[in-house]
Amino acid sequence: MSKPVVLVTGANGEIGRSLLERLHADGYAVVTVDLTPLPEKYRGLCLETYAGNIMDRYLLDQVAAHHEIEVVFHLAALLSTRGERDPELAHQVNVEGTLHLLRMANNQSQRLGRAVRFLFPSSIAVYGMPDVAEKKRVGRVREEAWNVPITMYGCNKLYCEHLGRYFTNYYRQLGALSTAARLDFRAIRFPGLISAETVPTGGTSDFGPEMLHAAAQGKPYKCFVGPEAQIPFMAMPDAVQSLVGLLDADRERLSTTVYNVGAFSVSAGEIAARVKRIFPKADISYEPDPVRAKIVDSWPEDLDDSVARKDWGWKPAYDFDRAFDDYLVPGIRARY
């Protein structure tokens, strides 16, 4: 039997690179689309790689025509800080681009006569806490609460979650195609992610990974939020595990299309202290950027992931200590 084909957009990004390794190890045939060509190391893990833009519908049609895609991981996006610098471009890439992928995956579902599973990384950025006092008071936030984002990226992700739910349950509900196979959309709202391999670009949770990677390279780091700023974070292997876990879950067990996942919640100061324990010469100072700090303050202090735990058995493997001791530090020491 041939291997099931998985399409990964944004494959050259932070999540993408780690996910490729996992999908390859799990026996999938991986097809990728990214603006930039994949490095040789990752190309070797793929059946085919396309360098191109998800806004290019002809490219997506070509990809769909050449492969029987059973699963889509749509990772390509402009993150929250980048999105504030160019909100219209963010909307184009994050919303229109997602619409192109949903349409393609739905056509593919009809062609195959069964639901293509569509995995979508959403974000803590879909939440908007009014102020730090309320954020502290509320603590862990459930999926349906505080869905009032203050960034273009957050608005885009929240809307695309709705689009995915719509495509799964209602797309073309009037008309001849009302009984045709639809796609099967599943989204995960990630906290800030930290990888030993890569530093993200254009995000607002980037202070966590940037601090660590700067210290490992002996570079000074000026943190764009104050030491008190606190949000949840997750180590990259857990992020990949959650995506694969949700992919593998039986549809009947899923009570919703959108799930929070959590691991640990720490302040910038706690991350800095941890980094200094590992790299005692680390030069970390604080130079808060008022807007980026406000965005971080608008994100919840932690995510309530009890629905993911109940529906599909989500459980993070890495708490704060394990993330540093067993994953980040060994990985980063080997890298630099």
Q: Which residues bind ligand SER (CB under 6 A)?
A: 79-80, 123-125, 153, 190, 192, 203-205
Q: Which is nearer to ligand SER, 106 or 195 (CB)?
A: 195
Q: Which residue is nearest to ligand SER (CB)?
A: 203
**CA 86/CA 91 separation, integer angstroms:** 9
With a CB cutoff of 8 Å and minimum separation 6, the contacts of 233 are: 191, 192, 193, 194, 205, 208, 263, 264, 265, 266, 271, 320, 323
The residue among 124 and 183 lying less far from ligand SER, judged by its C-beta, is 124
The minimum distance between CB 314 and ligand SER, in angstroms, equals 18
**Which residues are 299's β-sheet partners?**
none
Choose among 99, 73, 34, 78: nearest CA to 243: 73
- 60 versus 209: smaller Cβ distance to ligand SER: 209
- Give the chain's length: 336
Shortest approach of ligand SER to residue 1 CB, angstroms?
37
Angle between helices 268-278 and 207-216 (to 10 degrees): 20
Look up residue 129 and give its two tokens: 């806490």
Shortest separation between residue 201's beta carbon and ligand SER, angstroms: 10
CB of 206 to ligand SER, least distance (A): 6
Q: Which one, of 139, 28, 8, 3, lies nearest residue 77 by Cα? A: 8
Q: CB-wise, 189 or 274, nearer to ligand SER? A: 189
Rounded least distance, CB 85 to ligand SER, Å:
12
> Considering beta carbons, is residue 182 or 292 the nearer one to ligand SER?
292
